[in-house]
Amino acid sequence: MNVASPNGMRLICKRRVPCLDSESLKLRQAKEALFRDGNRYVLYLTDGAPHPSCKERVISLTSREALLWLNESQNEAGSFWE
């Protein structure tokens, strides 16, 4: 059972990932943020498109997956979109 932390969610790390929009071929800055809430990790992803066409995802991660995300090289950044 995952219980939320009494201190709330904490931002662990955030980063911007350059990406190319497949339709317009415009360069965008996707955003990723890793949060910790007690014993669980949450990864927030946004594709960098202007609102309201912006695509967002929220993914629950294990401790191992959170460590893998934190240690991704620049070339591997954005791998959780797949």
DSSP of 60-74, one letter per residue? Answer: EE-HHHHHHHHT--T
pLDDT at site 47: 84
Phi, psi for 7 (deg, rounded to 5)? -90, 0
On the 0-12 / 13-18 / 19+ scale of CB atoms within 10 A, 53 is exposed
Q: Which amino acid is at 43?
A: L
pLDDT at site 5: 53
pLDDT at site 1: 42
CA–CA distance, 46 with 69 (Å, rounded to integer): 15
User: Residues 6 or more apart from 66 whose CB is under 8 A from it?
Assistant: 12, 34, 36, 41, 43
Per-residue pLDDT tens digits of the chain, which is 82 residues long = 445 556 788 999 999 988 877 777 888 888 999 999 988 999 999 888 777 878 889 999 999 999 999 988 776 665 555 5
pLDDT at site 19: 80
pTM, whole model, 2 decimals?
A: 0.75
